[in-house]
Structure 1
């Protein structure tokens, strides 16, 4: 495995920490979870930079990176459903999109990198999950929900664009 792929895999270490820390209503635990989440999210940028800069783009990396990204986003959201902070149906919508894209990607002979819509989806999800994890005052409820709504919308839009038949090159 390349260093870029190791960086990608390291993001998985955040998942059990987030799931454990988000089980409590302790604000300090949530601030710690936010730090862990943001650090893990930063490695998403770092592994891509390292892979491109040092010519370490691999098929394994192109497969593993989005899979780990999905776990990093969906696992905290599932914990937040358990805390009744967000409705379960919203996570089901996100999960359905991710499974549909994953199923589609498995059938492809060559795995392509994320497009602009996929990157916007990822950034919006990171912002929304960050706001949802953070123990913010009630005045932040509306911006947090709007951010989460935008993340859901971009997730659906990017999924439709991904699956939309592209004109074949002649």
Structure 2
């Protein structure tokens, strides 16, 4: 395992601490939870940058990075469901997309082995929107932020579903070439 992969795995270390802090959170615990979440989420950018910059992109890294992202995001969202800040059905929509696309991203090739397809722009936008929504939802700010945080949550649900549909649909050039007569 290389440095970017270790950084990816380090992201998981924040999850148990987050879940502990969000059990019955005070304002101070919410602040710590938000900071830990943002640092853990920030390592997503760091590991990707280092992997590309140092030419250390691996199949293991392409597999683990989105998996760890999903654990961090969905684990924190489960705590937010328990705190009755977000509805479970919204998180179920996100979970359904994540499970469907996780299997879709593995492309078997002709040799019998498979390659892991990296995230596209929509998948990255989805991840950023989830990070922003969760940070707002776990923040210690007053109730006046509730509308903004819920709006951010529903925006992330929408982007999650849109990115899933875009991931499954064939690229426009494939549709055009399939329609051309030979």
Query: How far 1:159 sits from its partner (Å)?
Result: 0.5
Q: Which of 154, 166, 179 is residue 149 of structure 1 equivalent to? A: 154
Alignment of 1:2-151 (within 5 A): 2-108=2-108, 109-151=114-156
SS at match of 2:115: coil
**Which shifted more, 157-166 or 74-83?**
157-166
Distance in 1 (CA, whole Å) between partners of 2:106 and 2:51 is 22
Indicate the RMSD between aligned Cα atoms, in angstroms.
1.5
Distance in 2 (CA, whole Å) between partners of 1:30 and 1:24 is 9
- Could you state the TM-score of these two structures normalised by the residue count of structure 2? 0.89
- Structure 2: any 5+ residue segments left out of the alignment? 109-113
Distance in 1 (CA, whole Å) between partners of 2:59 and 2:138 is 32
SS at match of 1:110: strand
Could you give the per-residue CA deviations for residues 27-63 of structure 1, whole angstroms, max 9, x where no partner exists? 1111101010000011000000000000000000000
Contact 2:21 2:30 in 1 (8 A): yes
SS at match of 1:69: helix
Query: How far 1:85 sits from its partner (Å)?
Result: 1.0
Could you give the per-residue CA deviations for residues 1-29 of structure 1, whole angstroms, max 9, x where no partner exists? 00000000000101111111110131111
- Dislocated runs of 4+, deviation >4 Å: none
- Structure 1: any 5+ residue segments left out of the alignment? none
Query: How far 1:107 sits from its partner (Å)?
Result: 4.9
- Could you state the TM-score of these two structures normalised by the residue count of structure 1? 0.95
Compare CA radii of gyration and give the structure with the larger one: 2
**Which shifted more, 98-107 or 137-146?**
98-107
Query: How far 1:105 sits from its partner (Å)?
Result: 2.2
Could you give the per-residue CA deviations for residues 48-104 of structure 1, whole angstroms, max 9, x where no partner exists? 000000000000000000000001101010001011111111111111100001122
Q: How many residues align?
A: 170
SS at match of 1:135: coil
